[in-house]
Amino acid sequence: MKIAVLPGDGIGPEIVAEAVKVLRALELPLEMEEAPVGGAAYEASGHPLPPSTLALAKNADAVLFGAVGDWKYDKLERALRPEQAILGLRKELGLFANFRPAVCYKELTHASSLKPELVAGLDILIIRELTGDIYFGQPRGRRTAVDGHFPGSEEAFDTMRYSKPEIERIAHVAFQAARQRSKRVTSVDKANVLETFQFWKDVVTEVHAQYPDVELDHMYVDNAAMQLVKAPKRFDVVVTGNMFGDILSDEAAMLTGSIGMLPSASLNARNQGLYEPSHGSAPDIAGQGVANPLATILSAAMMLRYSLQRPDAADRIESAVGAVLAAGLRTPDIWSEGATKVGTRAMGDAVVEAITGKTITIKTKKS
C-alpha cells in the first residue's frame, strides 16, 4: 500500500510527522514517500504542485496531506499560491467526494461556543461535492462589462454549474453513507434563487428513489447555516455543493470546539483518497511544537478505512485517540482546567503508546 506524504506549510510538517509515527506503529506493509507541496514546494521549485509531487500522489493509493498556505504568499499570482496545490490535487485526482465529519468528543463538550446540551453527542457528516460548482466552473475572469448595472466598467465573474452526473454521483455517496449511519440525509441548496441548485435538488430527489430506506429532506443554505447553530443535532448526513460545503463545514467544525480534532477525506471513484485535517496551516503557531496532531492522526485512520481497506487498523487508531483523551491529555487548543497540557510530539507519542498497548506516560509541556 503506497502512501504519498505531503506535509506542506505552517504546522503541516509537525502534525504529519506524528501521523506517520502512528502509522508506523501499526506495523502494516505501508510504503510512505514524502514530497513538497504548497508554499514549501513553491520555495523549492517555483510551483505549489510540482509535477513530481503530482505524479507521486497519482501513483499512490492514498495521500496524507498536512496543510498549505501562509499570508506571505497572498501577493503571488493566483496560479502560484499554495491553495492551488490542494485545488490541483482535487482536480487532477478527481476527488469529488469530500467527507467532513463534525464530532463533538464528550471530553471536549465544554470547548464549544454553543451550550453543552446543544452539542453533547453531536455527530454530523458533511459530504461536500469537491470538483465542481463555482470553484471550477468556466468561464471565469475579468473583463469590461457590456451590460448589468454599470456597463463599460471593469467586472469579474465566475460560473456556477453542475452537470447531472456530477450531482448523481455525490448523491449516491451521501445515500450510501447514510445507510451506514442513521439513514437520514439533508440536501442543502439555494433552489429558491439559483437555477444550478434547483437542478441539484431535482437530481438528488430523483436519485433518492433508489434509496427508499433513507429519509431525505431539503434545506436552503441560509436556513442550514442557522439550524447548525440553533439545533445542530437535527442533522446527520448533509450533502451539498462545493461552495456551500466549504462554508458549512467550517461552521460545523467550530461547533465541536475542536477544529484541531477533525479529520477529512476526499475520494475519487476508485477510492483513491486524499486525507487531511480540517484545519489549516496555522502559520502563527508553526514550529512551536504546540499544534494538535489528532486531526491528522484521525485522517490517517480514515485513510486506512476508506482507501486501504483496513478498518481494523482504523479502529485501533481511533480507540487510541479516545484513550489519550480519556487520560486527560490535551494540546493547548483543547486544554481546559484540570487537564494535562502536552505538545505535538508528546500527544503523538501517547497515541503510539496507546496503540502498542503500553501505559500512557505523560511528558507535559511547560505552559
**Which residue numbers are catalytic?**
135, 190, 222, 246, 250
Alpha carbon distance 241, 92 (integer Å): 19
Task: Using DSSP bridges, classify how beta strands 141-144 and 154-157 pair: parallel, antiparallel or unpaired.
Answer: antiparallel
Q: Each residue of 299-325: b (16+ CB within 10 Å) or e?
A: bbbbbbbbbbebeebbebbbebbebbb
83 forms part of the interface with ligand IPM (CB under 6 A): yes
Alpha carbon distance 201, 219 (integer Å): 9
DSSP classification of residue 290: -
CB of 246 to Mg ion, least distance (A): 4
Residue-wise DSSP of 261-283 = G-EEEEE-TTS-EEEEESS---G
Question: Which residues lie across from 263 on neighbouring strands?
Answer: 277
Select 83 or 251, whichever has its Cβ closest to ligand IPM. Answer: 83
Cis status of the peptide bond prior to 139, with omega within 30 of 0: yes
Residues 99-138 that bind Mg ion (CB under 5 A): none
User: In sequence order, what E strands does the chain have?
Assistant: 2-8, 31-34, 62-67, 97-103, 123-129, 141-144, 154-157, 184-189, 215-220, 237-240, 263-267, 273-277, 329-330, 340-341
DSSP classification of residue 360: P
Select 62 or 243, whichever has its Cβ closest to ligand IPM. Answer: 243
Select 191 or 243, whichever has its Cβ closest to Mg ion. Answer: 243
Select 32 or 87, whichever has its Cβ closest to ligand IPM. Answer: 87
Given Mg ion, ligand IPM, none, residue 236, with its beta carbon under 5 to 8 Å by kind, binds none
CB of 83 to ligand IPM, least distance (A): 4
CB of 246 to ligand IPM, least distance (A): 5
CB of 238 to Mg ion, least distance (A): 15
Given ligand IPM, Mg ion, none, residue 155, with its beta carbon under 5 to 8 Å by kind, binds none
CB of 308 to Mg ion, least distance (A): 26
Given Mg ion, ligand IPM, none, residue 120, with its beta carbon under 5 to 8 Å by kind, binds none
Q: Residues 305, 311, 314, 318: what is their CA dihedral angle, to the nearest 10 degrees?
A: 110
Whose CA is closest to 345, among 3, 13, 108?
A: 13
- Three-state DSSP state, 3: strand
123 forms part of the interface with ligand IPM (CB under 6 A): no
CB of 65 to ligand IPM, least distance (A): 10
The site map against Mg ion for 59-98 (x = CB under 5 A) is ----------------------------------------
Given Mg ion, ligand IPM, none, residue 86, with its beta carbon under 5 to 8 Å by kind, binds ligand IPM
Residues 240-299 that bind ligand IPM (CB under 6 A): 246
Alpha-helical regions (H) of 143-293: 164-179, 195-208, 221-230, 242-255
Select 215 or 246, whichever has its Cβ closest to ligand IPM. Answer: 246
Q: Residue with the closest Cβ to ligand IPM?
A: 83
Given ligand IPM, Mg ion, none, residue 87, with its beta carbon under 5 to 8 Å by kind, binds ligand IPM
Q: Give the interface segment with Mg ion, choosing from 125-133, 175-183, 245-253, 337-345 (CB under 5 A).
A: 245-253
Q: Which of 179, 246, 332, 360 binds Mg ion (CB under 5 A)?
A: 246
Grid coordinates representing 225? 447555516
Select 4 or 67, whichever has its Cβ closest to ligand IPM. Answer: 67
Residue 264 φ/ψ, nearest 5 degrees: -155, 160
Q: Give the interface segment with ligand IPM, choosing from 29-37, 82-90, 168-176, 220-228 (CB under 6 A).
A: 82-90
Alpha carbon distance 96, 268 (integer Å): 6
Residues 84-103 that bind ligand IPM (CB under 6 A): 86-87
Alpha carbon distance 138, 61 (integer Å): 30
Task: List contacts with ligand IPM (CB under 6 A).
Answer: 83, 86-87, 246
Task: List contacts with Mg ion (CB under 5 A).
Answer: 246
